[in-house]
Amino acid sequence: MITLTPEQRQTIENAIRTVPDFPKPGIQFKDITTLLGNPEAFRLLMDHLAERYAEYGLDYVAGIDARGFIFGSVLADRLGVGFVPVRKSGKLPYTTVAEKYSLEYGFDEVEVHIDAFGENGKQHDGTPSRVLLIDDLLATGGTASAASTLIDRLGAECVEACFLMELDFLNGREKLGVPVYSVII
């Protein structure tokens, strides 16, 4: 199942509710809570991702606040690797490193613990920790780009960025300096 069949992709897509005009008029919000509440579709998605990433030699899955936590922690458990939360600024209790990114009107910031991927981002044998970045949606790419930059700044290697959905007309993947995989485009 490294590649989903059209029927499998449709099962996942049909499990995601579209909410018109949320949070403001003109936005078609993709609500994943219905996917999470659908055991067949959620299991299909997680089986697919676990199979896809089984041979990547990952050390960590880094999930972006907050929906990336859901997919990332389940996937990390299935792969037998660590999970690292990429949080919004001010949410982590230990020493952090942060990366700012621009929004339509202003800036925001994400951060991780300074030792999230091992000492200097390395494994015990001195090789860089291999990290998969995951979130639910790739839109403009600002948050994911900042998170990927954090992984690299800490000395680890972001091997790929994975998203459940991608709004490809926003060209978010162009901001990322890593391969991108989106289940639904």
| Per-domain residue ranges of the chain | 57-184
- Active-site position among 67, 78, 109, 157: 67
Q: Is 67 a catalytic residue?
A: yes
pLDDT of the residue at 2 = 80
- Active-site position among 17, 51, 78, 104: 104
Question: pLDDT band for position 83 (50/70/90)?
Answer: very high
Least confident of 40-54, 76-90, 93-107: 93-107
The number of C-alpha atoms within 13 Å of 67 and in the hemisphere containing its C-beta is 16
List pLDDT tens digits, range 107-165: 999 999 999 999 999 999 999 999 999 999 999 999 999 999 999 999 999 999 999 99
- Name the strand (E) or helix (H) holding 159: strand 157-166
What is the architecture, at CATH level 2, of domain 57-184? 3-Layer(aba) Sandwich (3.40)
The stretches of the chain forming alpha helices (DSSP H) are 6-14, 33-36, 39-53, 67-79, 142-153
The strand pair at 96-103 and 17-20 is best described as unpaired
On average, the pLDDT of the chain sits at 95
Is-cis flag, bond preceding 39, omega within 30? no
